[in-house]
Amino acid sequence: MPAIEVSALTKTFRQGKNTVEAVKGVDLAVASGELVALLGPNGAGKSTTLRMLTTLLRPTSGSAHLGGWSIADDPERVRSVIGYVGQGNGAGHNQRVREELITQGRCYRLSKAEAVSRADELIDALDLQALVDRKVGTLSGGQRRRLDIALGIVHGPSIIFLDEPTTGMDPQSRANLWDHIGRVRDRTGATIVLTTHYLDEADAMAERVVVIDSGTVIADDTARHLKDTLAGDQIILRTTDPEAATAVGEIAARFGGVTVGAVDGDVVTLRASGGDALLPVVLRSAADAGVDVRAAELMRPTLDDVFLALTGRSLRESGTATATGSAPAA
Ligand SMILES: Nc1ncnc2c1ncn2[C@@H]1O[C@H](COP(=O)(O)OP(=O)(O)OP(=O)(O)O)[C@@H](O)[C@H]1O
């Protein structure tokens, strides 16, 4: 049984005379222990989907089961098996880190002894040892995010939702937080679903990427498979002059699955999956035909190329996604 099973989930908001179809029929199955990233531009419906799955918002139609429990029929049970870490944080500023974790455990009805042992376990998993006696209000952004995650999973949920856990952090803090998320997953075997604006992060860290656009899932696969099948590699070949570039393009076009772009001066650009295998073959064929290729560059596609191939738009242009860490320091 999948940890999360979502079928034809929709949410329509009504505001006066206007209706917004925020989620238009999302289907999703996440296996137990999987780490899945939801990716999509602003307003795609990611947060609304997450809020429905975490029982914070009632769906307009469709169904979802988490750990076998229905969000419509058994919201209490659903809440007992999930942890949700939103973008804001709920911890009191004057509490100390360890105290705050123990208090949170008690809120989840853990006994005092259980709450203490769980707090210490999470302090270890999320590297909070040096901070246990610090007041929450004095933590840095990155430290605070680690505490938020600890607070959100203090009751030992088997399914964890993280809404943009790394937004606004510098690249080093993001990498560090990912290490911790991985460590939590390895230790607990929890299923993790998160949203992120960082394309490179979803690419490198998530086992599966679910791309959401205009309220529907438009792609759902490993980042590698999405890139190979939907975007392909880019090969840039520099020759001696426009005639040579055109000739290389014609040679490359004889191979199956190659798209030849417009010649630009002495440069021609090809797109194909398996570019690393194709490149030497094209170079050999060009040499056999007496055409001189002076430089060759192979570029692997990014998830933004995937989004572009699917929608004709760039995720980056939407102002949502970031390929590299240019965010302010945490
Ligand atoms: N309470 C609400 N009332 C009316 N419209 C809403 C409400 N909540 C969300 N929406 C609309 O639903 C759509 C989806 O919003 P949602 O927050 O789910 O997108 P998102 O993918 O999470 O975007 P972001 O990356 O910006 O957080 C948007 O058009 C948004 O304006």
pLDDT of the residue at 233 = 92
Report how far residue 212's alpha carbon sits from residue 46's, in angstroms, rounded to the nearest whole number. Answer: 7
Report how far residue 328's alpha carbon sits from residue 330's, in angstroms, rounded to the nearest whole number. Answer: 6
Domains defined for the chain, CATH in brackets: 2-226 (3.40.50.300), 233-300 (3.30.70)
* Residue whose CA lies nearest to ligand 1 atom number 26: 42
Beta strands across the sheet bearing 295-299: 259-260, 267-272, 233-238, 295-299
Centre of ligand 1 to C-alpha 22, Å, is 6
pLDDT at 318 over 70: no
Report how far residue 46's alpha carbon sits from residue 23's, in angstroms, rounded to the nearest whole number. Answer: 8
> What is the mean pLDDT of the segment spanning 14-33?
94
pLDDT of the residue at 252 = 96
* Residue whose CA lies nearest to ligand 1 atom number 10: 22
pLDDT of the residue at 1 = 80
Centre of ligand 1 to C-alpha 23, Å, is 9
DSSP sequence for 278-307: HHHHHHHHHHHTT----EEEEE---HHHHH
Report how far residue 231's alpha carbon sits from residue 226's, in angstroms, rounded to the nearest whole number. Answer: 7
Residue with tokens 């590299």: 324
**pLDDT by residue (tens digit) across 182-216?**
888 888 899 999 988 788 888 888 889 999 999 99
pLDDT at 174 over 90: no
Beta strands across the sheet bearing 216-221: 82-85, 159-163, 191-195, 35-39, 208-213, 216-221
pLDDT of the residue at 328 = 36
Report the SS3 class of residue 37.
strand
Nearest atom, ligand 1, residue 48 CA:
18
Centre of ligand 1 to C-alpha 21, Å, is 9
Centre of ligand 1 to C-alpha 309, Å, is 24
Least confidently predicted of 202-206, 217-221, 259-263, 291-295: 202-206
Report how far residue 234's alpha carbon sits from residue 268's, in angstroms, rounded to the nearest whole number. Answer: 10
**pLDDT by residue (tens digit) across 132-173?**
999 988 988 888 888 998 998 898 899 999 988 888 777 888
Q: How confident is the model at residue 90 (pLDDT cuts 50, 70, 90)?
A: low
Nearest atom, ligand 1, residue 51 CA:
18
pLDDT at 304 over 60: yes
